[in-house]
Amino acid sequence: MKITKTLPAFKDYIWGGTKLKTNFHKDSDLAVVAESWELAAHKDGTSGFQGESFDLADLFEKDRALIGTNAQAFERFPMIIKLIDAKSNLSVQVHPSDEYALAHENSYGKTEMWYVAEAEEGAGLYVGFNRDLTEEEFRRLIAENRLQEALNFIPVKAGEWYFIEAGTVHAIGKGVVIAEIQQNSNLTYRLYDYGRVGADGKPRELHVEKGVKVSKLTKYVPDKRTSCEYFSCESADISGETHLNANEKSFIAVIILDGAFETEGERYEKGDTVFIPAGHGDCVLKGEAKVIFVRI
């Protein structure tokens, strides 16, 4: 398998906008592209590869050597890489740990990382709480639609990383585009949704009881990690030539957040995620670009 770009799955959630189409060159018939699942092998969305007849799920099942030996520890592809455009606030939500999710949902939990690709003036993220809460106070704030009062709001700018461990209550704020690298799970407990209704005209489902059980109620402490057991991430600037080596341990996914580069006779630009198979060996990226490298 040669180096190639991925073919994403797109999601048109009600809070999404059009920046992934206009700014990141995503080609979709959807009027709204809230999420672009750049590298995914999940029942809710699987990515393909340009010029190949197979998708990532096929590759993991049939030719795992191209994923890398580090993947042998996992029964399924361990991560999902997304680009997310929040035209409106996402719901206030929480993801359970593996322990809880496997016991109650027949699913894995979800730890994730956010890299701020773009941010409008005054935009930010809700991550954790601005003080310690009791379970009683937490429930009361939800019931009274006042949960935002206790959320820790962080004004953000492009280039910042945020590690969101399972159990951390969070929400992406309007006006932010992020690259999200997350555990391979689509399990979310929605705690508060600003009274919005879905496409059916009804309020979107909340999961308060489960959410309360898995939420960390202590004051938020910044988490500066950029890796965990499921993924390792590094942001970088390509200027001129950058040399990479994709050894047998892991593929390298290169998310292009700005600019463009060429490698092995092909050009890739902002919005592309380039997949370098495990075992490919040395390659050279030539150009000017802001990127994220992701490995297992």
Per-residue tokens: 208: 């308060």
Question: Which string of DSSP letters, residue by residue, matches 132-182?
Answer: ---HHHHHHHHHTT-GGGGEEEEE--TT-EEEE-TT--EEEPTTEEEEEEE
- Catalogue the active-site residues: 190
Per-residue tokens: 153: 């709001």
Residue partners of 10: CB distance under 8 A and separation at least 6: 26, 28, 30, 33, 35, 36, 37
Cα(206)–Cα(194) distance, integer angstroms: 11
For residue 236, what are the β-bridge partners?
A: 291
